[in-house]
Amino acid sequence: MYTSKIAGLGAYVPENIVTNDDLSKMMDTNDAWIQERTGIKERRHIKKGDGNSTAKMGVKAAKIALERAGLTPKDIDLIVFATLSPDYYFPGCGVQVQEMLDMRTIPALDVRNQCSGFVYAISTADQFIKTGMYKNVLVIGSENHSGGLDMTTRSRNVSVIFGDGAGAAVLTKAANDEGGILSTHLHSEGEHAMELSLEGPSTERWVPEIIAENPQENIPYYPYMNGQFVFKNAVVRFAEVINEGLEANGLTAKDINMLIPHQANLRISQFVQKQFRLSDDQVYNNIQKYGNTTAASIPIALTEAWEEGKINKGDLVVLAAFGSGFTWGSAIIRW
């Protein structure tokens, strides 16, 4: 029997730092409100002409992950790319990575599960490895949020939260006794799809229709978030899916060495930390520096935690995410 393990991790964020004070020059907000409600101090935004895009940032993170795994692009059998902000409506970012990294004509799959995207992507990669179909899978989470945010007061509850960046992991086939991904757990509840969504342009609402609706009043082409409703559901689902993963492996919260929650909001992470009675060094947070980078947030946080020596061989690492869809999931990993 095989399992899959994470053989290499990488992250990339654009150089351009946007502080809360910078945002307060564009909209009616302030550093104290943003820090108190979200924990965010600053985030990165792509700057026009800096050579970044969702796919290009993904490639930068992937190169680091590949090097750390001791592999080359030619060794990869499948690309799984998670994003809600692809460079194009179609095709997806996965094929762009295949071309940019000069890979073989391997399959490239895009995952559209927003903040849970990386957990869904890891789970997909894990299944392909465990069935024996592929040996090495490149998993990327990358977002260019700044290109699609409404930087005016009317969307301030959304626009202060999100940032740009990318993270990547190389998953590789391993023997069962080497540790690796023990299990993954995925869920969705489409009933709440529109509570955190970007309606248009889409095949349901194409551009002329949006313009006809008067964009000054109606802004379906910017993200909408029912913040309090999302918050309330997030704290419940995070706890459920972490418990589900622990129970499936005969473990309890006492076994967790490191929890990497999707960096949605520092208050959500702190709430989950309290529920599981984890200490500060058992939960990794970096939303303070990057904001919420959606599909990129877990791989960026996982990479940083590993770089800082906070994840060691034998540790039980738990990844957990909740986001638009609603979708949520967890991955239980023995490092």
Binding part of the chain for ligand ACO, among 51-59, 177-185, 228-236, 271-279 by CB under 6 A, reads 228-236
Q: Are 169 and 79 within 8 A, CB to CB?
A: no
Residue 115 interacts with ligand ACO (CB under 6 A)?
yes
Residue 43 Cβ, how far from ligand ACO at the closest point, in Å? 13
Residue 111 interacts with ligand ACO (CB under 6 A)?
no
Residues 157-216 that bind ligand ACO (CB under 6 A): 157, 160, 196
Q: Which of 20, 115, 185, 286 is catalytic?
A: 115
Amino acid at 156: R
Find residue 225's DSSP bridge partners: 196
Q: Which of 113, 285, 286, 292 is catalytic?
A: 292
Residue 324 interacts with ligand ACO (CB under 6 A)?
yes
Nearer to ligand ACO, 129 or 225 (CB): 225
Residue 33 interacts with ligand ACO (CB under 6 A)?
yes
First-residue to last-residue Cα distance in the chain: 18
- Does the annotation mark 262 as catalytic? yes
Non-local (6+) Cβ contacts of 40 within 8 A are 20, 34, 160, 161, 163, 266, 287, 288, 291, 292
The Cα 66–Cα 138 span in angstroms is: 8
Binding part of the chain for ligand ACO, among 6-14, 100-108, 177-185, 221-229 by CB under 6 A, reads 221-229
SS percent in the chain: helix, strand, coil, step 5: 40, 25, 35
Phi first, then psi, for residue 108 (nearest 5°) are -130, 125
Among 230, 283, 296, 316, binds ligand ACO (CB under 6 A): 230
Residue 114 interacts with ligand ACO (CB under 6 A)?
yes
Considering only CA atoms, which of 251, 236, 253, 59 is closest in space to residue 141?
59
Q: Number of H helices and number of E strands within the chain?
A: 11, 13
Among 46, 80, 168, 264, binds ligand ACO (CB under 6 A): 264
Nearer to ligand ACO, 161 or 170 (CB): 161
Among 231, 244, 255, 273, binds ligand ACO (CB under 6 A): 231
- Does the annotation mark 292 as catalytic? yes
Task: Round the CA-based radius of gyration of the chain to a whole number and report it.
Answer: 19
Measured CA distances, 106 to 55, 140, 213, 296, 305 (Å): 17, 15, 43, 23, 30
Q: Which of 20, 113, 262, 285 is catalytic?
A: 262
Residue 324 Cβ, how far from ligand ACO at the closest point, in Å? 4
The Cα 184–Cα 122 span in angstroms is: 8
Residue 29 interacts with ligand ACO (CB under 6 A)?
yes
Among 17, 192, 227, 288, binds ligand ACO (CB under 6 A): 227
Site string (124-163) toward ligand ACO, x via CB under 6 A: --------------------------------xx--x---
Rounded to 10°, the helix 54-69/93-100 angle is 50
Return the residue matching tokens 């990993």.
Answer: 333
- Does the annotation mark 249 as catalytic? no
Site residues for ligand ACO per CB under 6 A? 29, 33-34, 37-38, 114-115, 156-157, 160, 196, 225, 227-228, 230-231, 234, 264-265, 268, 292, 294, 323-324
Q: Give the residue numbers annotated as catalytic, written as ranges.
A: 115, 262, 292
